[in-house]
């Protein structure tokens, strides 16, 4: 459930409406439902409690969440959140993904490339300042954006922190989030992939589960472990208990719970089905490449994991939109809102806008998404095609990056010697062509030029065997020839790139126009909801820190009861029942440790906490501020959470703190880590 960038293929301009939802919701830390917690659960968090949770929580740059769990910068997260770092430091000789990693001393901890942690230090409401800037302005949106830029710069300078102004309630509230950034992050511990993701993609988004999806990182400052003694979560040895109230502090990526039905219809009928087509063939292509083994498998492992995760997630979301119960709930919600809004002309205008933009998006989507050439070579070809188009116009009218020193640097970069991975390029382009034949049709210019009468795979081979863009000397000569040489080149890959660039412009402009219209309409709807409901509910998720809560309990599924927890008995039973065949093969280290394990130890568990992508790695804590688990997934029934939360069957799936501690001791002998966590 990490928020990977894999499916950020086109920006979705969407409203961020206020959401009226059942317990628990995703609450901002300055607006927790304290009275509800007191009345329903008999617990009222103090300001000190709330601040401690906020400061002990972190956002991880790979797209997930985490938390400090020791005075010395130790961070608990998921293995799949840390996977890109683990994979990045692996090699065939030291395959930390397959074999795991354990630094027994600080000196052995490995630097995670490009990893950062964000700790939310403060939240400042700047709504009045932003709104004041927009009032009476010729272009209110631009005026507000300029004000946000000025506020960000001022507060960053004053606090010496990184500041983001977050838009909530569709622009009804603007809050400056000030972050402390830890940019020296090191890997401390990671189990084997087969232990972390036991059951693989087959069990992903399923429950019951038996996964040790955990990793420990460490934040460093000035070359030493960071001092986090003021705010960290202590470890609960016994862990979560049945029916216990628990909290999850994390960074849910995005939700669309009050998008108008017209917008959801586009998701249901066009967008989600299209993404499944795109990602399905990409998954097949990368699986073929990974099957080559060695470096090839390592190279695409993280991307392949993300694609498979996205396929299941988007498929579940689509199933939710096609579910009659959920759709009727969405219809009832919209009807109730419109009734509460009365004859509000702005609301009526906004709803009509979404009907119009649905048609615009439906028209633009297929060419925008399926006119593409992926991979390093495809990206290079498209960059050269864009350069040729820019150079054909007067320098004064070109974008800044196509003029002066920027242009010179760009041309130098495009002419560099590059070692292309041609087998990978072949798989990526083959997937593009396969998708294009189905989605664009044989009569499209793209398919005629790229495929003709060949099969997509043979057409990809032809493109790669006849293009000269792989040669630095050819590219250098081409670039020196300027617009005439680039735009007149008959290189097959460059010809295809010119078609892609020219034929995407119209759909891209249409998609962008739809986004602009929806931005205004979405703001009108969100502000209408805010006038009606105020801050009695939470805003849609924005990949910023939120607090959710619920209880640990199972659920009924058909005629059976799904248990709230699993144990180590189930891990070995699942492996045996599946003949220990991949991905149900239990690591040898675990098999060796089996006689020394207490198989009744809780391993994974579920709760009613409301979560979504981005919550991966979030700490699951009790009211005593103790770690009782770490969230790593949701059950299959929770996938439509993006649009609607149903607390009868939706569950967040966590690794139990007792199971983590037991594995660290009996399987991995991680006694130093246990001591740091104060686990006896």
Pairing of strands 619-621, 565-567: unpaired
Please indicate whether residue 647 or residue 50 has the higher confidence score (pLDDT): 50
Same domain, 246 and 265: no
- The answer to whether residue 326 sits within a structural domain is yes
Tell which of 347, 364, 381 closes a domain. 364
Average pLDDT over residues 441-455: 96
Q: In the predicted model, is pLDDT for residue 9 greater than 60?
A: no
Q: In the predicted model, is pLDDT for residue 20 greater than 70?
A: no
- The answer to whether residue 581 sits within a structural domain is yes
Q: In the predicted model, is pLDDT for residue 218 greater than 90?
A: yes
pLDDT recorded at residue 4: 45
| 8 Å CB contact between 645 and 330 | no
Q: In the predicted model, is pLDDT for residue 414 greater than 80?
A: yes
pLDDT recorded at residue 645: 87
Say how far apart CA 332 and CA 261 lie, in whole Å: 11
Q: How far, in Å, are 65, 66, 67, 117, 180 from residue 55 at the CA level?
A: 13, 11, 9, 12, 10
Same domain, 84 and 225: yes
Q: What is the DSSP string of 205-271?
A: T-SS------EEEEEEETTEE---TTS-PEEPSS---TT-EEEEEE------TT--HHHHHHIIIII
Say how far apart CA 374 and CA 213 lie, in whole Å: 31
pLDDT recorded at residue 170: 79
pLDDT recorded at residue 18: 41
Q: Which of helix, strand or coil describes residue 587?
A: coil
Same domain, 268 and 246: no
- The answer to whether residue 585 sits within a structural domain is yes
Q: In the predicted model, is pLDDT for residue 2 greater than 70?
A: no
Same domain, 215 and 312: no
Closest CA to 187 of 106, 124, 126: 106
Q: In the predicted model, is pLDDT for residue 533 greater than 60?
A: yes
Confidence tier at 536 by pLDDT (50, 70, 90): confident
Q: In the predicted model, is pLDDT for residue 263 greater than 90?
A: yes
**Residue recorded with tokens 């002998």:** 669
| 8 Å CB contact between 672 and 41 | no
Say how far apart CA 158 and CA 174 lie, in whole Å: 19
Say how far apart CA 483 and CA 411 lie, in whole Å: 12
- The answer to whether residue 481 sits within a structural domain is no
pLDDT recorded at residue 13: 36
- The answer to whether residue 612 sits within a structural domain is yes
Q: In the predicted model, is pLDDT for residue 249 greater than 50?
A: yes
pLDDT recorded at residue 537: 84
pLDDT recorded at residue 523: 85
Same domain, 251 and 272: no
What is the per-residue pLDDT across 71-103, written as a single tens digit (0 to 9) for each?
999 999 999 999 999 999 999 999 999 999 999
pLDDT recorded at residue 357: 98
Same domain, 316 and 226: no
What is the per-residue pLDDT across 59-77, written as a single tens digit (0 to 9) for each?
999 999 999 999 999 999 9
Same domain, 223 and 353: no
Same domain, 282 and 347: yes
Give the burial string for 91-123 (b: 16+ CB within 10 Å, else e): eeeebbbebbbbbeeeeebbebeebbbbbbebb
Confidence tier at 23 by pLDDT (50, 70, 90): low
Q: In the predicted model, is pLDDT for residue 14 greater than 50?
A: no
- The answer to whether residue 492 sits within a structural domain is no
pLDDT recorded at residue 534: 85
- E strand map for 54-158: 57-60, 64-68, 74-77, 101-102, 110-111, 117-125
Positive or negative, the Cα torsion across 429, 434, 437, 439? negative
Please indicate whether residue 168 or residue 21 has the higher confidence score (pLDDT): 168
Q: In the predicted model, is pLDDT for residue 388 greater than 70?
A: yes
**CATH number of the domain enclosing 238:** 2.40.10.120
Q: In the predicted model, is pLDDT for residue 581 greater than 60?
A: yes
**To the nearest whole number, what is the mean pLDDT of the chain?**
94
Question: Which residue blocks in 456-607 are alpha helix, DSSP H?
Answer: 456-466, 472-480, 482-488, 492-533, 568-577, 588-593
Percent of the chain with pLDDT over 90: 89
| 8 Å CB contact between 447 and 437 | yes
Tell which of 338, 364, 390 closes a domain. 364
Angle of CA points 239, 244, 245, to nearest 5°: 110
Give the burial string for 612-624 (b: 16+ CB within 10 Å, else e): bbbbbbbbbbbbe
Same domain, 216 and 285: no
Q: In the predicted model, is pLDDT for residue 5 greater than 80?
A: no
Confidence tier at 15 by pLDDT (50, 70, 90): very low
Closest CA to 208 of 198, 194, 222: 198
Same domain, 87 and 30: yes
Distance of CA 413 to the CA centre of its chain: 30
386 C-beta neighbours (distance < 10 Å), count: 19
Same domain, 88 and 215: yes
Tell which of 364, 390, 416 closes a domain. 364
Average pLDDT over residues 347-351: 97
Number of domains into which the chain is organized: 2
Average pLDDT over residues 140-168: 96
Average pLDDT over residues 307-327: 94
560 C-beta neighbours (distance < 10 Å), count: 7
Distance of CA 654 to the CA centre of its chain: 18
Confidence tier at 519 by pLDDT (50, 70, 90): confident
The size of the chain, in residues, is: 680
Q: How far, in Å, are 86, 169, 616 from residue 97 at the CA level?
A: 6, 41, 18
Average pLDDT over residues 572-589: 97
Average pLDDT over residues 357-377: 98
Same domain, 93 and 226: yes
Task: Name the residue range of residue 316's domain.
Answer: 261-364
| 8 Å CB contact between 177 and 163 | yes
Pairing of strands 626-634, 234-235: parallel
Q: How much is the pTM?
A: 0.86
């Amino acid at each position: 459930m990490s928020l990977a960038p894999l499916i950020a293929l086109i920006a979705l301009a969407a409203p961020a409406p206020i959401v009226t939802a059942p317990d628990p919701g995703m609450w901002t830390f300055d607006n927790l439902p304290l009275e509800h917690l007191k009345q329903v659960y008999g617990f009222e968090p103090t300001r000190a409690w709330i601040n401690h949770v906020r400061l002990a929580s972190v956002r991880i740059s790979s797209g997930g969440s985490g938390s400090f769990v020791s005075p010395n910068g130790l961070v608990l997260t998921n293995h799949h959140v840390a996977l890109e770092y683990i994979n990045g430091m692996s090699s065939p000789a030291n395959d930390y993904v397959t074999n795991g990693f354990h630094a027994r001393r600080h000196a052995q901890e490995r630097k995670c490339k490009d990893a950062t942690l964000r700790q939310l230090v403060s939240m400042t409401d700047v709504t009045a300042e932003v709104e004041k800037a927009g009032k009476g302005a010729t272009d209110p949106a631009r005026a507000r954006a300029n004000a946000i830029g000025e506020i960000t710069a001022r507060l960053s300078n004053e606090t010496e922190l990184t500041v983001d102004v977050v838009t909530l309630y569709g622009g009804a509230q603007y809050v400056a989030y000030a972050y402390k950034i830890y940019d020296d992050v090191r890997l401390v511990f990671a189990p084997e992939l087969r232990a972390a993701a036991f059951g693989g993609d087959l069990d992903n988004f399923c429950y019951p589960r038996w996964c040790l999806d955990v990793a420990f990182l460490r934040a460093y400052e000035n070359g030493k472990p960071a001092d986090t003694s003021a705010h960290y979560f202590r470890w609960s040895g016994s862990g979560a208990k049945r029916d216990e109230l628990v909290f999850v502090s994390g960074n849910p990526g995005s939700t669309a719970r009050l998008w108008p039905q017209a917008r959801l219809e586009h998701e249901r009928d066009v967008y989600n089905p299209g993404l499944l087509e795109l990602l399905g063939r990409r998954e097949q292509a990368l699986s073929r490449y990974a099957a080559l083994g060695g470096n090839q498998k390592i190279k695409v492992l993280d991307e392949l994991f993300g694609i498979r995760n996205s396929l299941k997630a988007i498929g579940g979301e689509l199933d939710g939109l096609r579910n009659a119960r959920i759709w009727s709930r969405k219809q009832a919600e919209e009807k109730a809102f419109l009734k509460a809004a009365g004859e509000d002309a702005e609301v009526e205008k906004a709803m009509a806008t979404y009907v119009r933009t649905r048609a615009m998006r439906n028209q633009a989507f297929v060419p925008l998404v399926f006119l593409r050439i992926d991979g390093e070579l495809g990206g290079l070809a498209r960059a050269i095609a864009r350069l040729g188009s820019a150079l054909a116009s007067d320098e004064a009218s070109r974008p800044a990056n196509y003029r002066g020193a920027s242009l010179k640097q760009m041309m130098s970069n495009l002419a560099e010697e590059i070692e292309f991975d041609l087998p990978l390029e072949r798989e990526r382009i083959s997937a593009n062509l396969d998708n294009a034949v189905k989605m664009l049709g044989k009569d499209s210019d793209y398919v005629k030029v790229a495929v003709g009468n060949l099969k997509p795979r043979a057409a990809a081979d032809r493109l790669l065997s006849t293009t000269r863009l792989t040669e630095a000397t050819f590219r250098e000569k081409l670039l020196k020839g300027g617009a005439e040489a680039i735009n007149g080149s008959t290189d097959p890959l460059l010809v295809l790139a010119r078609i892609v660039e020219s034929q995407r412009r119209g759909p891209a402009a249409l998609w962008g126009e739809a986004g602009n219209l929806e931005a205004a309409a979405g703001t009108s709807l969100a502000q209408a909801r805010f006038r009606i409901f105020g801050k009695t509910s939470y805003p849609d998720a924005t990949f910023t820190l939120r607090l959710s809560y619920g209880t640990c309990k199972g659920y009924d599924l058909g005629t059976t009861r799904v248990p709230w927890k699993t144990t180590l008995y189930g891990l070995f039973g699942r492996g045996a029942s599946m003949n220990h065949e991949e991905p149900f093969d239990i690591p040898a280290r675990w098999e060796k440790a089996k006689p020394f394990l207490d198989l009744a130890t809780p391993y994974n568990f579920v709760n009613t906490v409301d979560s979504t992508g981005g919550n991966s790695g979030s700490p699951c804590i009790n009211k005593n501020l103790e770690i009782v688990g770490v969230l790593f997934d949701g059950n299959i029934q929770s996938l439509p959470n993006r649009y609607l939360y149903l607390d009868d069957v939706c569950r967040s799936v966590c690794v139990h703190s007792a199971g983590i501690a037991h594995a660290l001791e009996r399987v991995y002998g991680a006694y130093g880590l246990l001591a740091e966590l104060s686990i006896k």
